[in-house]
C-alpha cells in the first residue's frame, strides 16, 4: 500500500509514510471488508460514514504537516484511523464525532490499540473544541459547504487547516494557512469526495 499507492503517487513526507506503514488499517474497517483494508479505496463503516482511502489520508496528513510538539484537532472521527495516524505525528490529537456510536467505538478502539494521546468527544464539529483551542493544525474529514468560521478562529497563528469544501459532488480539498500576523490564505489541492459535515441533529 505504502509503496504502490502512496509513494508512487507522490507522497514524500517520510514521517507520514512511516505512520501509514505502522498503522493496522485492517483493525479500523468492518471485519467483513478487512481482506480489502489495504486497497486504495474508501470503505463504508456504518452510520453513513466512510473511512477515507489511504492516498487521501496520506495527502491530507502531508498537507497538515503535523509536528511532534503540536496539538491538532480532527473533525469527523469515524473509525479513528486518521486520528491514529495524526497521533503518531503530533503531541496530542483532539477529535470530534457527531454519531454517538462511532464516537464510542472509535474511542474504545484507539485506547485498545494504545493510541493514548487521542481524546474523542461526541459532539458537533462546527463548534470545535474551545477549551483546548487554539490548535496548530485542524483537519476536517467531512465536507462543509464553507470552512466554518469557528474553526478558523480556533486555529493558532502559524497554523494550518485542511478540509474538503463544497456541496454534493462538487468538493475541493482546501489548505488554509493562518500567518503569524493572523492573515488567512487559501489554496485548492484538487477534487475529493467526502460525506457532508452535518449540522447537529435538532433534539
Ligand atoms: N476520519 C474518519 C472518516 C470520517 S467520515 C476515519 O478516519 O475513519 C466523516 C465522519 O464525520 C463521519 O463519521 C460522520 O459521522 C462525521 N460527521 C459528520 N458531520 C459531523 C459533525 N457536524 N461533527 C462531527 N462529526 C461529523
Using DSSP bridges, classify how beta strands 92-97 and 43-46 pair: parallel, antiparallel or unpaired.
Answer: unpaired
- Residue 96 has a pLDDT of 98
The whole-number pLDDT of residue 200 equals: 72
**Ranges of each domain in the chain:** 2-191
Distance from Cα 142 to the centre of ligand 1, integer Å: 5
DSSP character string of 48-90: TEEEPPHHHHHHHHHHH---TT-EEEEE--TTSHHHHHHHTTS
Instruction: Return the pLDDT at 201.
Output: 63
Using the mean position of ligand 1's atoms as its centre, give its distance from the Cα of residue 75 in Å.
6
Q: Write the residue with the smallest CA distance to atom 11 of ligand 1.
A: 76
Q: Which of 34, 52, 79, 179 is catalytic?
A: 52
81 lines ligand 1 (CB under 6 A): yes
Q: What integer pLDDT is reported at residue 77 of this predicted model?
A: 98
Task: Per residue of the chain (203 residues), give pLDDT as tens.
Answer: 999 999 999 999 999 999 999 999 999 999 999 999 999 999 999 999 999 999 999 999 999 999 999 999 999 999 999 999 999 999 999 999 999 999 999 999 999 999 999 999 999 999 999 999 999 999 999 999 999 999 999 999 999 999 999 999 999 999 999 999 999 999 999 999 999 999 876 55
> Is 84 a pocket residue for ligand 1 (Cβ < 6 Å)?
no
Give yes or no for residue 73 CB within 6 A of ligand 1. no
pTM of the predicted model, to two decimals? Answer: 0.97
Ligand 1 within 6 A of CB of 141: yes
Is residue 52 part of the annotated active site? The answer reads yes
What is the CA(76)–ligand 1 centre distance, in A? 3
Q: How far is CA 122 from the centre of its chain?
A: 15
How high is the pLDDT of residue 199?
A: 86
- pLDDT score at 202: 57
| 2-191: in CATH 3.40.50.150 | yes
Which residue's CA is minimally distant from atom 2 of ligand 1?
A: 78
Question: What is the pLDDT at residue 72?
Answer: 98
Q: Taking a C-beta distance cutoff of 8 angstroms, is the pair 84, 127 a contact? A: no
Dihedral sign computed on CA atoms, order 109, 7, 171, 70: positive
Identify the CA nearest to 59 among candidates 39, 82, 35.
82
Ligand 1 in reach of 5 Cβ (< 6 A)? no
Confidence at residue 31, expressed as pLDDT on a 0 to 100 scale: 96
Ligand 1 center–CA 83 separation, angstroms: 11
Which residue shows C-alpha cell 460514514?
A: 49
Q: Is the CB of 127 under 6 A from ligand 1?
A: no
Amino acid at each position: 500500500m505504502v509503496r504502490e499507492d502512496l509513494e508512487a503517487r507522490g507522497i514524500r513526507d517520510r514521517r507520514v509514510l512511516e505512520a501509514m506503514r505502522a498503522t493496522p488499517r485492517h483493525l479500523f474497517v468492518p471485519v467483513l471488508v478487512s481482506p480489502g483494508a489495504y486497497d486504495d479505496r474508501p470503505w463504508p463503516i456504518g452510520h453513513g460514514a466512510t473511512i477515507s482511502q489511504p492516498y487521501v489520508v496520506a495527502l491530507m496528513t502531508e498537507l497538515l504537516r503535523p509536528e511532534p510538539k503540536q496539538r491538532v484537532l480532527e473533525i469527523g472521527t469515524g473509525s479513528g484511523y486518521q486520528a491514529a495516524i495524526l497521533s503518531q505525528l503530533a503531541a496530542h490529537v483532539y477529535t470530534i464525532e457527531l454519531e454517538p456510536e462511532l464516537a464510542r467505538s472509535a474511542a474504545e478502539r484507539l485506547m485498545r490499540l494504545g493510541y493514548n494521546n487521542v481524546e474523542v468527544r461526541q459532539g458537533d464539529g462546527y463548534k470545535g473544541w474551545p477549551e483546548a483551542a487554539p490548535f496548530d493544525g485542524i483537519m476536517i474529514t467531512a465536507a462543509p459547504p464553507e470552512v466554518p468560521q469557528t474553526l478558523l478562529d480556533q486555529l493558532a497563528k502559524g497554523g494550518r487547516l485542511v478540509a474538503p469544501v463544497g456541496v454534493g459532488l462538487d468538493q475541493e480539498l482546501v489548505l488554509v494557512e493562518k500567518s503569524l500576523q493572523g492573515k488567512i490564505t487559501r489554496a485548492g489541492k484538487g477534487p475529493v469526495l467526502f460525506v457532508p459535515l452535518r449540522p447537529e441533529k435538532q433534539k
